[in-house]
Structure 1
Amino acid sequence: MVLCPCGARHPEGFACEAGERIRRQRAAEHAHHHKHEHETGHCHAPADPHPHEHSCCCGHSGTLQAAGSGTGSGQTVVYRIDAMDCPTEEALIRKKLERLPGVVSLEFRLVQRLLSVRHTLDSTADIEAALQAIDMPPAFAGVEAVFVISGMDCPVEEGLVRSRLADMDGVYGLDFNLMQRRLVVRHEPAQLANIVRALESLNMGALLVDQTKPEARTAPESSRTPWRRLAVAGVFAALAEAIEFVLQWQAPALEAALDRLPSLGAALDRVSALSLVHALPLLAALIAIGLSGLGTYRKGWIAVTNGNLNINALMSVAVTGALCIGQYPEAAMVMVLFNLSEAIEALSLARARQAIGKLLALAPERATVLDASGNWTEVDIQQVAVGTRVRVRPGEKVGLDGVVASGMSTVNQAPITGESMPVEKRSGDPVFAGSINESGSFEFTVSAPATDSTLARIIRAVEEAQASRAPMQRFVDVFARYYTPAVFLLAIFIATAGPLAFAMPWKNAVYTALVVLVIGCPCALVISIPVSIVSGLAAATRHGILIKGGMFLESGRKLGWLALDKTGTITRGRPVQTDFFCMSGDADRAWRLAASLASRSDHPVSKALVEAAGDAPLLPVEDFAALPGQGVAGRMDGQLWHLGNHRMVEALGRCSEALEARIFPLEEAGKTVVVLVGEQGAVALFAVADTVRASSREAIGELRQLGIKTLMLTGDNAHTAAAIAKEVGVDEFKADMLPEDKLEAVAGLAQQAKGRVGMVGDGINDAPALARADIGFAMAAGGTDVAIETADVALMDDDLRKIPRFIRLSRATCAILMQNIVLALGVKALFFALAFAGMATMWMAVFADVGTALLVVANGLRAMRL
């Protein structure tokens, strides 16, 4: 439960409108007051007993600023913008703020209407003024601090951090990325020092970092696992077990041996000697526990003092209880095995953490650029501006996004798009940061800064996806939150009610309770979900499928319908000339006349005609005029010529039955027909069509095999839509669709369809439908930024066959999730039964828990190979 500004306590994540209004009002007043004081030089923070953690009211700090929290190294401020309702407004804000000097990057959370602005400005006044200028008034929602926490290895530690910070005043939000050990705290500026102190009290190695630095993305591995110390502890635990065995089964022989040592009696009597021998298991056990378990006791104490019962607290109680009832060897073995399992589990999880590390390693740190003096120099890619000329030699990695300016080469862009074969690049072709130049040398012009390259966006999306919680993970987290205290209460009940109500011996009751505590560890269940989800996300990224959250990976298996935009999705979005008929005169001259007129227009159909003409010399055009909705006109060789559609021919009075006999079959085949008309009548007829992607037919077929129905949505006429639908094999189609019609169609499917509804698109006109669908898929290579930002899944190379692959990956990942849950709970249930039957021991319980945790981690990592 979280204390709300309205005075009530709500569950974490509960949206209270009254509390939100109060919070925004306080934050706005706080920001205004302290901004004024800082700008006038009257900023005075209260005295801080920890000067190295001091943070002034406006967010400036001492040593912490050097670590990256100050504005000089890139501070992030968060605004809530109530007027930001759709991707159109997001695009407007992006365009306005990206031009503002000092703005480093923007991150939009459209659903929450939140905007994060990373900047290097001394004051945020310019940002707020720019938002006001476009009628998007911002409400201050805190600043962001990024911590990497080297000791946050599993959901247990995440829960401890969450419980410590969630109720703090001035903390607006917490975003965890467990796989990268990263925490983003959205807070009031004056609270930074308190947040740092709270994290330091947990002794988990929290470090405040600069978001612009690589260490903000990944945390270093926590201190090296003390394998040697664990090995020595294991030897002493085994020694305690061996001595205990000898004392139990060889007691008469031992007593006889002591009787045969008369010299011993001079120093100690027989009873003292026996007591010393019987104390040896305790001594060996204490050494083993001291070598392996002090960290567990420390973590358990921190958890208990923060009102959190986690596995470290359970294990500390279990081991201490075992010592108290004389089970010294088991106490030592349990502690050693538990810490060994933690170390092995950390090694297994490190494999899942490698996904982001591999992505970060894709882009080089430096690039060879053409400077102002005309010389080629190497500079940091973070300093390369848009428009800079960059040279790439054979074998080098491309450091930034751009467009090839000169040269030709073969580029391996599989890490970005998932394409299996290298792609030939020549002048005018795009290149992506992270791709590898295989053969020739080329130069390209930078089209995006390093912070906004395709690779950077992929990394951000994968990080956000890892941080987000799938529905199954949220359920397991809630389950574990109540399950652990319930197990603790059950153990207390067994220890007390066994002797009092069921006449169990006290020692047996306490031992059974301790076994239950060890069995009750929820680690295997809790860790299985994030490992499986992150593995699935990493596998998808490797195939060029960018999934923006575990929830979408999990819900992909439930898709029942998929709506697809036509142009740029099913088709290439680039019309090409398919037919040509010369009706009178010279064919070559007719083609040159048409291409000359078309060259003066930027319509896609006109571009197709010019492209088909190739290098043919064009004629000069005089008195050029565009005829809206019909075509173009101009004078060439002293005559007036028209180039346009059927409607234009009719308006000119030049239509005939013979001409229509040629036009109608082409239009019914889904082609766009244009006619070249001279002063004497129609001279030539051209047909243009948007060609279907080679992968579209195969993708639709695979979707049908998976039991998913398809609906094509297009703004084209019914003839064209029917022809394309028949060619690719979609189940249904709708033509003459405006953006609002596409939105309505997707909404209608969602109401009547069984299962979830997906939408695939590439343009701004598809954004509303993409946002309305349960899962939106964007064609990322040729699509607009708005479509890509709105979608939940991006196909990096515009290959529709990746959607069936995504669905199969979703189904396989969810199957692995269910296997892990059944395995974890099944083992728990079995050992609970054995414990109540008196057949389970503590070391057996630890072995079962360790084995289960390793099995679910290994099973979850299988998703990486899908």
Structure 2
Amino acid sequence: MFHPAQRKRRGLAPHAGHASCRGGEGKPDPRTKDDCCGHKLEAALPAQPSAAHDHEHGHKHDHDHDHQHAGQACSGHDHGAEAPRAVSLGEGGRQQARLHIQAMDCPTEAKLIEKALGGMTGVAALEFNFIERVLLVRHDLPNLDGVKQAIAKVGMKAVELTDASAPVEQPKASRRGNWLLALSGLAAAGSEGVAWLSGADQGWGSAALALASILLGGIPTLKKGWIALSTRTLNIHFLMSVAVIGAMLIGQWPEAAMVLFLFAIAERLEAMSLARAGEAVKALMSLAPETAWLQSGGEWVERPAAEVAPGSRVRVRPGERVPLDGRIDQGHSAFNEAPITGESLPVDKSPGDAVFAGSINGSGVVEVLTTAAANGSVLARIIDTVRNAQASKAPTQRFIDRFASIYTPVVLVAALLFAVATPLLGWLSWHEAIYNALVMLVIACPCALVIATPVTVVSALASAAKHGLLIKGGAPLETAARIDAVCFDKTGTLTEGEPQVTGVVALADADQDQLLRWAAALDAHSTHPLAKAVLAAASARGLSWPEAEQVSEQAGRGVSGLADGRKLALGSSRLAREQGALNEALQAELSRLELAGQGALVLLEGERALGVIAVADRVRAEAPAALRQLAKLGVATVMLSGDNQQVVQAVAAQTGIIEAHGGLLPEDKLERIIRLQSSGKTVAMVGDGVNDAPALARADLGIAMGAAGSDSALETAGVALMDDKLAKLADLISHARRTAQVLKVNIAVALLTKLVFFALAMFGLASLWMAVFADVGTSLVVIANGLRLARGVRKAE
């Protein structure tokens, strides 16, 4: 029962297959993120063992072992609240730098930056975070002067950031900028008014006011349009510039001014709305204290939390937030761990218990020995997950991006054909055709369409994190909405994972105490709950046990080794059968325990059964209600366990689970997952963070239980439930389905608006400013609808 590293030091053979998986459960090592066969765990997360050890042994190795309108978003374009977006430009660089680019708020600017830096020697990769307007540059350069100069050539200013963990403050629009925009709007309205009173758009008064409006508020857009033209980039600024210049050329001065003004307003409003999504991330970041009271030279001094090294002693007073992850060394108190687990009820802690950065101390003063740096805490990883989750775009977002990349040029070509064909066919005059074509150009801006998904996803991820649901991006979120079958591991997931020895039956020439001594010797180096149960029972009797030698494990069967000079094995009935030890007496005892819903560990010496150790695990109190909630959502529930079928059926009867399968090896569980998927179901696998890697990796969605204390779960799970609350499974699926509904509504609204105004433009019933106004309005509607998800996760009913 040694960790692979221990086996190597002791000269033991490496595990064969999933050799640490004695309950048929594959166990990843949280320190290597590999399963016990060395497989990389990608979408997999943890899972659990089996009450019968599945010795059936099921060991669960819980190893501790100059964008002039600051903050403005781009109205209309392949919009990018979906950040960060990664673009590989070559072999990875050795360094990375974070640049704040205030003008970079969507893929429009990102494409310009990609063109500027794509061919630069020494730049390896770019990663765009549009919400915080941060560019991550992976490079092998002596300095970033060349990078900053290249970005400046496309009209943007880059400022290097030194603190990777600090939130980026977004400057507000200047007072001068606000006044200029207000004057631009008054001039545009005045131009429209003069034109209406005089009955002529081409009058000098109307034109003069329109020109004043453009000079006051439209120059930034026109400048960006010129940059887009000079870099041969088809983006929103290019389209708006063409529409405005075209309107002026045909004498529609009021229209030109109003279009530019409304576009500037659109950018301001969208920036404000997108900032709301960023606020959700900043709210998470603010949970971690910036300073800590550190013991230094016998005194307590206040130091920046980022400077406190692991192993330091820090003091947390009542009402303060814990600055860093650690373990209590002195003191007792209750802690509100809502920032981590979403559960606001205080949790009592005493010396030896783990505490998490961001949790709130209750009434006692405690001293904590830190176990991680500030950037390595559980809270920091939650923040990073939400901050960077959009790097892996959801399927809907990828589809919309592809659609928008086709939609815009298609509408542009259609507008050009309309402007030429309709006058030649005698359907419209040249003036009317060109004007209507310009309206179509404005409609070609896919703003509302592209922004619909990322804002919704960011809002949903942030609110889920505050509820204790850590969702690793839009793809797992969309998958969760489609889940119609959930497979559960048993021990530690449906049960408490803390089995107890309920009895010892001697079958040969050894008494109960001797049986427990030998079993404890074989289980001494395991942290599996069943091994802990054996060790606890031996300790309770005041027994000591010898050091076992030549310990080895057999997947789904048990463990063997030398103890007191005797070659012993401890495992499942399967192991006893294979060794020819399944006699009538042993079979009768096993049948009795199975009927009682208990697991059995058989101690063997060769072909002789020395005795049976009965173990039992309690079902989680909330499990029946949680499974009923899933049933109300139309989700089928399946139990996959390495325990014998009788034990599995007993747990199924207590929880109300629909389908239960016992006696499964890791490959059997994998086959069950595949069978469910082949029947057309979208399958989730739920475990507790430490094993069942093959099944978890194969499932459409891996969900880790109790992930706050598991490094492997936080890093490999598709979804991590930060506490052990089974009820949050229904909350997860309900929240994901609500998000999917919001996405569908947003996309439908955006597409319908585009279709209606395209038809109106063809019949000459839409004006330029009306098209811009409709586009702005639609964008604000989809943003507001998406931001509703930031309010919180609704409890599943």
Give TM-score, length-normalised by structure 1: 0.71
**Does the 8 Å contact 1:155/1:527 carry over to 2?**
no
**Letter in structure 1 aligned against 2:135:** L
User: 2:516 & 2:28 partners in 1: Cα distance?
Assistant: 36
Instruction: Say yes or no: does 1:141 pair with 2:92.
Output: yes
Q: 1:280 aligns with which of 183, 190, 205?
A: 205
Cα deviation digits, residues 684-715 of structure 1 (max 9, x gap)? 99853222222332232222222222332223
**Does the 8 Å contact 2:713/2:720 carry over to 1?**
no
User: 1:230 & 1:109 partners in 2: Cα distance?
Assistant: 53
The secondary structure found in structure 2 opposite 1:746 is helix
**Does the 8 Å contact 2:419/2:437 carry over to 1?**
yes
User: 1:620 & 1:324 partners in 2: Cα distance?
Assistant: 97
Aligned to 1:768: 694
User: 1:449 & 1:575 partners in 2: Cα distance?
Assistant: 35
Q: 1:785 aligns with which of 711, 729, 737?
A: 711
Aligned to 1:465: 389
User: 1:88 & 1:697 partners in 2: Cα distance?
Assistant: 29
Cα deviation digits, residues 253-282 of structure 1 (max 9, x gap)? xxxxxxxxxxxxxxxxxxxxxx9xx42211
User: 2:244 & 2:668 partners in 1: Cα distance?
Assistant: 66
**Offset, 1:611:** 6.0
**Does the 8 Å contact 2:41/2:697 carry over to 1?**
no
User: 1:802 & 1:815 partners in 2: Cα distance?
Assistant: 20
**Does the 8 Å contact 2:599/2:644 carry over to 1?**
no
**Letter in structure 2 aligned against 1:718:** Q
**Offset, 1:411:** 0.9
**Letter in structure 1 aligned against 2:308:** V
Change (3 A) 1:624 1:522: closer
Change (3 A) 1:830 1:191: farther
Aligned to 1:714: 641
Aligned to 2:449: 525
Change (3 A) 1:496 1:409: same
**Does the 8 Å contact 1:560/1:753 carry over to 2?**
no
User: 1:624 & 1:304 partners in 2: Cα distance?
Assistant: 77
Q: Aligned ranges for residues 674-753 of structure 1 at < 5 Å?
A: 687-750=614-677, 752-753=678-679
Q: 1:410 aligns with which of 331, 334, 347?
A: 334
**Letter in structure 1 aligned against 2:411:** V
Instruction: Say yes or no: does 1:830 pair with 2:724.
Output: no
Change (3 A) 1:784 1:438: closer
The secondary structure found in structure 1 opposite 2:498 is strand
**Does the 8 Å contact 2:29/2:690 carry over to 1?**
no
**Offset, 1:630:** 9.3
Aligned to 1:308: 233
Aligned to 2:179: 228
Aligned to 1:810: 736
Q: Aligned ranges for residues 113-512 of structure 1 at < 5 Å?
A: 141-143=92-94, 144-166=96-118, 171-189=123-141, 193-210=145-162, 212-215=163-166, 218=168, 220-221=170-171, 223-224=173-174, 226-248=177-199, 278-371=203-296, 373-502=297-426, 504-512=428-436
Paired residues in the alignment total: 692
The secondary structure found in structure 2 opposite 1:800 is coil
Aligned to 1:853: 779
Cα deviation digits, residues 564-610 of structure 1 (max 9, x gap)? 22222222222235x56999xxxxxx999999999886464464477
**Does the 8 Å contact 1:154/1:527 carry over to 2?**
no
Cα deviation digits, residues 10-36 of structure 1 (max 9, x gap)? xxxxxxxxxxxxxxxxxxxxxxxxxxx
Q: 1:754 aligns with which of 670, 673, 680?
A: 680
User: 1:666 & 1:627 partners in 2: Cα distance?
Assistant: 30
**Does the 8 Å contact 2:101/2:159 carry over to 1?**
yes
**Offset, 1:500:** 2.5
Listed as ranges, the gaps of 5+ residues in structure 2 are 1-25, 44-89, 552-557, 604-610
Moved more, 481-490 or 446-455: 481-490
Give the RMSD, CA atoms, in angstroms. Answer: 4.1
**Does the 8 Å contact 2:708/2:714 carry over to 1?**
no
Change (3 A) 1:562 1:179: same
User: 1:798 & 1:807 partners in 2: Cα distance?
Assistant: 16
Q: Which has the higher contact order (CA 8 A, sep 6+)?
A: 2
**Does the 8 Å contact 1:398/1:434 carry over to 2?**
yes
Instruction: Say yes or no: does 1:801 pair with 2:753.
Output: no
Moved more, 403-412 or 659-668: 659-668
> Which structure carries more helix by proportion?
1
User: 1:342 & 1:646 partners in 2: Cα distance?
Assistant: 67
User: 2:576 & 2:675 partners in 1: Cα distance?
Assistant: 39
Cα deviation digits, residues 593-637 of structure 1 (max 9, x gap)? 9999998864644644776899x8x647587879986999999xx
Moved more, 687-696 or 509-518: 687-696
Listed as ranges, the gaps of 5+ residues in structure 1 are 1-85, 96-107, 112-138, 252-274, 584-589, 636-641, 677-683
**Does the 8 Å contact 1:632/1:644 carry over to 2?**
no
The secondary structure found in structure 2 opposite 1:710 is strand
**Letter in structure 2 aligned against 1:728:** T
**Letter in structure 2 aligned against 1:297:** L
User: 2:576 & 2:670 partners in 1: Cα distance?
Assistant: 35
User: 1:525 & 1:305 partners in 2: Cα distance?
Assistant: 27
**Does the 8 Å contact 2:513/2:543 carry over to 1?**
no
Cα deviation digits, residues 731-762 of structure 1 (max 9, x gap)? 33333334444334434433x13132222223
The secondary structure found in structure 2 opposite 1:692 is coil
Change (3 A) 1:803 1:158: farther
**Does the 8 Å contact 1:597/1:632 carry over to 2?**
no
**Does the 8 Å contact 2:339/2:379 carry over to 1?**
no
Change (3 A) 1:409 1:155: same
**Offset, 1:782:** 6.6
**Offset, 1:397:** 0.6
**Does the 8 Å contact 2:599/2:643 carry over to 1?**
no
**Offset, 1:844:** 1.4
The secondary structure found in structure 1 opposite 2:229 is helix
Change (3 A) 1:597 1:438: farther
Change (3 A) 1:163 1:644: closer
Aligned to 1:63: none
Aligned to 1:547: 471
**Offset, 1:391:** 1.4
**Offset, 1:534:** 0.7
**Offset, 1:91:** 4.4
The secondary structure found in structure 1 opposite 2:277 is helix
**Letter in structure 2 aligned against 1:220:** Q
User: 1:184 & 1:423 partners in 2: Cα distance?
Assistant: 39
The secondary structure found in structure 2 opposite 1:377 is strand
The secondary structure found in structure 2 opposite 1:759 is strand
**Letter in structure 1 aligned against 2:659:** E
**Does the 8 Å contact 2:500/2:615 carry over to 1?**
yes
Change (3 A) 1:825 1:631: closer
Change (3 A) 1:581 1:599: closer
Larger CA Rg, structure 1 vs 2: 1
Aligned to 1:51: none
User: 1:399 & 1:167 partners in 2: Cα distance?
Assistant: 43
Cα deviation digits, residues 453-498 of structure 1 (max 9, x gap)? 1011112211221232111111111222222222222232233333
